[in-house]
Amino acid sequence: MTTVLAQILDPHFIGTILRVATPLLLAALVVGALLGWLMSLSVNRLGTDLIMTGIALNIAAAAATTLGLYLATGDKGMSGALKSGALPSLAVPFIGNIHVLTFAALLAVPAVSLLMMRTRFGLHLRATGVDPKSARAAGIQTGRVQMMALILSGLFGGAAGAYLSLGYVTWFAQNMTAGRGFIAIAAEVMGQGTAWGTLVASLVLAAAESIAITLQSLGLPFELMQMIPYLVPVIVLTVHAARRQRRARRQITPETQET
């Protein structure tokens, strides 16, 4: 921990954060928050379906990034022609280099958990998610709560995208997320909607991806190994759904069946 702290306090490290994070990371956060706000506006003001709106924004964002890349570089595939900065990593003893946004993600877990479980906003957010009609009847402004939730989700999504293009690699490519957003949704479901549960699920899915990469070096079929990170959440979610159905059947008593 002393080594990590020394790196954080190093002037070069701080300078790199300020020089790279200010224009690029903050831009990613702003764009993510803006997309969350647009989604909230469409759902709450125009009455569109939440799921369909999310899919439409996904498609529109993918097309917009391709258009922006083409206008900036003349290339529709990669941004190799552009010089891109990179957010720094911290050297952790016995582990290796850990990206600064990875630390931010780990710190966000207890912060989100406290927000959801220990604050008035978290209570309103959970009530809105479970039953919006009952929440409105209790005097909660569900539209405002949903807007804040989507903006916060957009901020986290923007940070994740920034990690891919400023940390995982230092370039942008079309569709470079490769379905990771849907895996993130699977992690949230596997974690039963809690911050700590989602962290554990994310670690399981990350381990599956690492195993897939390791197995590729053994000469196993590349396509089969690429399926592992996507196959694991499907299996886990199927088992989870089956257990929920079994639990629901056990809760049905003969008296409720007669009524």
Sorting pLDDT into bands at 50, 70 and 90, what band is 84? low
Better-predicted residue by pLDDT, 81 or 151: 151
pTM of the model: 0.78
Shared-domain flag, residues 45 and 165: yes
Q: What are phi and psi of 178, to 5 degrees?
A: 50, 40
CA distance 190 to 244: 12
Whether residues 137 and 225 share a domain: the answer is no
Tens digit of pLDDT for each residue in 144-157?
999 999 999 999 98
pLDDT average, residue stretch 15-27: 67
Q: Are residues 166 and 80 both part of a single domain? A: yes
Q: Which pLDDT does position 120 carry in this prediction? A: 94
pLDDT confidence band for 173 (50 / 70 / 90): confident
Residue ending a domain, among 122, 147, 177, is 177
Q: How many domains does the chain have?
A: 2
> Are 143 and 189 within one domain?
no
Residue type present at position 5 = L
Query: Which range (58-67, 76-85, 148-157) has the least confidence?
Result: 76-85
Amino acid 108 reads: A
pLDDT tens per residue, range 204-242: 888 888 888 788 777 777 777 778 878 888 888 888 788
The Cα 200–Cα 149 span in angstroms is: 22
Query: In this structure, are 124 and 2 located in the same domain?
Result: yes
Residue 99 has what pLDDT? Answer: 78
- Asked if residue 206 and residue 252 are part of one domain, the reply reads yes
Contact in structure between 167 and 101 (CB atoms under 8 Å):
yes
Domain range enclosing 257: 178-259
Residues 39 and 132 placed together within one structural domain of the fold: yes
C-beta atoms surrounding 54 within 10 Å? 18
- Name the burial class of residue 205, with classes exposed (0-12), middle (13-18) and buried (19+) by CB atoms within 10 angstroms of its CB: buried
Q: Which residues are registered as beta bridge partners of 89? A: 99
* Helix-strand-coil split of the chain, %, nearest 5: 75, 5, 20
Domain boundary among 177, 205, 238: 177
Same domain, 166 and 185: no
Q: How far apart are CA 165 and CA 82, in angstroms?
A: 12
Verify that 22 and 131 share a domain, yes or no: yes
Same-domain pairing of 42 and 168: yes
Let me know: does 150 contact 53? Beta carbons within 8 Å. Answer: no
Domain boundary among 144, 177, 210: 177
Mark whether 194 and 236 lie in a shared domain. Answer: yes
Burial class (CB in 10 A: 0-12, 13-18, 19+), 190: buried
Give yes or no: residues 149 and 121 share one domain. Answer: yes
